[in-house]
Amino acid sequence: MKINVSTKLIINYLLLVVLVFSCTTFILLYKLNYESKAQLENELVTKAQLISEFIPAPVIHQGNTNQIQPLVQIAKQKSRARITVIAKDGKVLGDSESDPEIMENHLTRPEVIDALQGKTGASTRYSYTLQKNMLYVAIPAKTNQREISGIIRVALPVTTVNTLTVNILKNLWIGIIVALLLTIILGYVSAYFITKPIRQINAMTQEAIKGNWSQKIPVTTQDEIGSLAKSLNLLFQQQQGNIEAIKNEQNKITAIISSMSEGVIACDLDSRILLINKSIEKIFAVTAANCRNKMLLEAVRNNELDEILNLTLRSGQPQQSELSILVPVQKIFQVYASPLTNEDKTVGAVLVLHDITTLKHLENVRKEFISNVSHELKTPLTSIKGFIETLLAGALEDKNNNRRFLSIIQEHADRLGKLINDILELSKLESKEIQLEFKPVALPEIIRKTVETFTPQLAKSKITCAVNITGSLPAVRADQDKIAQVMINLIDNAIKFNKENGTITISADLQIDFLKIKVQDTGIGLPSADLPRIFERFYRVDKARSRDLGGTGLGLSIVKHIIEAHHGQVGVESIQEQGSTFWFTLPL
């Protein structure tokens, strides 16, 4: 059961009042009883002295009961007390309440013993004769010679004292009850005002627990409670400043982690996720809300990543590994795992995933490029070297074959030159070294001139080239020479890989914000599996035929880079044995 401060104060007040009044009542009753008894004793002594004058000592000394008894009855009427006359030997000579003849000897009574010694004796005890508590006072009856001739004893019931005590006790209890009621009322009023600031402090402390540190406790007193309110206000102010500083630092850290391109995962010692950034959400197609407080393997479902985390937590040492992810898209990551420590104890770990897919791709491209270049250079160089050695071995004097050998050497040298030129051209395009000269260009004119340059080759291959561009096309901002190079490469490929008596159709589609040029042939076409890689460097579908036709494998890659430098796009549509359609777009 919860007891508030006000109730405790009132209970304390009540206990204090009850204790004080109880002690006071006990002392007063004791004092009153003592004083009342003393007063009653004095009164009885006075009455006994008066009776000693009415019943003189010589009469008592004679011991005549018949003479003393009537005098006792007369004295009783005047004193309204019980009177007893006792001889020196303890015999009762007269009594106002009983027959002296049947009364027992009183020599052993305490008050009688004191009186026989010449003192005033007093005693309180129960009277079996009157069936009540009595106060007895006895004085010696002395002759003129100061000799004790007997005892005069006067007694009154102590009920008088008890009645007075009870009346006073009733009045005291009434006073106590009134005081308690006043204490309760005043206690509640006093406790209300005393505990009011405490209640305010408690209410505001509860608000502070909920996170509201901006409040201020009113200081209404200069006592301990006022000092407490000032201290709490200072604490609230400092705590609010600390919380704002922590929030600012947390926001900075969150902003930094969220803006990182690397994926970040923080886990506790039990492998439960504490934090992930947006990059992780994209990589694994998850959300931070669904992952928080879940086991890493439960949220991400990648065994390799979970093994790296567990190894870091067990060893307390940084770990590094490569991670390949196939879903939702194939990616390769370099994973760095570092332990989180607190006072040299491992309390968790942080995983950082750096996407190295592009680097791996570039590395593979570099390896393929070196391999392809080596291969492409090796073939003509081997042929050139072989024919030179043949000539040096004596074929130079062979008039029937020496010129043919030199022609072959020249052909391979030209092929080497073309390959080197294409590599240099592609390298410049990729490195952005070439500065394009953008100016309004009429594409129909470029297409017409390019087709004219291929007239002998078209005639030799028995291929018909049709330019289906009707109406006037708007000019585009482009580099005229580079666009001409694009058309040359596309038409050259369309001739090389076309069939005898085939056709080439060049057309243009005007869209809302770009112009689309198509070069369609009726050649051998391309397998669907090769379409995604057709614009890669040195990529050939039919390597033998491509080399026989003098291709370097770089033409389409050069086309792609030129068009992308113009902020356009390239593409291909092809059906095997039915032909291909290469297209590119240029923004208007």
Eight-state DSSP code of residue 356: -
What span, in angstroms and rounded, lies between the C-alpha atoms of 351 and 268?
A: 11
* Residues in the chain, overall count: 588
User: In this structure, what token pair is assigned to residue 578?
Assistant: 């039915």
Identity of residue 422: D
| Alpha helix positions (H), 264-356 | 278-284, 288-291, 296-300, 303-315
Work out the number of other CB atoms within 10 angstroms of the CB of residue 144: 8
The residue extents of the domains of the chain are: 5-164, 211-259, 261-351, 360-430, 435-587
Q: What is the dihedral of CA 446, 448, 452, 458, to 10 degrees?
A: 110
Closest CA to 94 of 59, 44, 43, 121: 59
User: Is 8 within 8 Å of 190 (Cβ atoms)?
Assistant: no
User: Is 520 within 8 Å of 580 (Cβ atoms)?
Assistant: yes
User: In this structure, what token pair is assigned to residue 461?
Assistant: 């291959």
Look at strands 148-157 and 476-478 and give their pairing. Answer: unpaired
pLDDT at 122: 86
Fold category of 360-430 in CATH: Helix Hairpins (1.10.287)
The CATH superfamily of 261-351 is PAS domain (3.30.450.20)
pLDDT at 544: 45
User: Does an H or E element contain 397, and which?
Assistant: none
What span, in angstroms and rounded, lies between the C-alpha atoms of 91 and 112?
A: 11
Work out the number of other CB atoms within 10 angstroms of the CB of residue 523: 22
Say whether 261-351 and 5-164 share the same fold: yes
CATH (one of 3.30.930.10, 1.20.1300.10, 3.40.50.2300, 3.30.565.10) for 435-587: 3.30.565.10
For 127, phi and psi rounded to 5 degrees? -100, 115
- Return per-residue pLDDT of the chain as tens, 588 residues: 556 666 766 777 777 777 777 787 777 767 766 777 777 778 888 888 888 888 888 888 888 888 888 888 888 887 778 888 888 888 888 888 888 888 888 888 888 888 888 888 888 887 777 777 888 889 898 877 778 888 989 888 877 666 766 777 777 778 778 877 887 787 777 777 777 777 777 777 777 777 776 777 777 777 777 777 778 778 877 877 788 888 888 788 777 877 787 888 899 988 898 888 888 888 888 888 888 888 888 888 888 888 998 999 888 899 998 888 876 677 888 999 999 888 888 889 999 988 888 888 777 767 766 666 666 667 677 777 777 877 777 777 777 777 777 877 787 777 777 767 766 666 666 666 667 788 888 888 888 888 888 888 888 888 888 888 876 788 888 888 888 888 888 888 888 888 888 899 988 888 888 888 899 998 888 888 778 878 776 666 654 444 444 455 677 888 888 888 888 899 988 888 888 999 999 888
pLDDT at 338: 92
Could you give the strand order of the β-sheet that contains 579-587, starting from the edge strand earlier in sequence? 464-468, 503-510, 514-521, 579-587, 570-575
Class (C level, CATH) for 5-164: alpha beta
pLDDT at 129: 72
pLDDT at 541: 60
pLDDT at 336: 92
pTM of the predicted model as reported, rounded to 2 decimal places: 0.45
Work out the number of other CB atoms within 10 angstroms of the CB of residue 242: 11
User: Is 52 within 8 Å of 141 (Cβ atoms)?
Assistant: yes
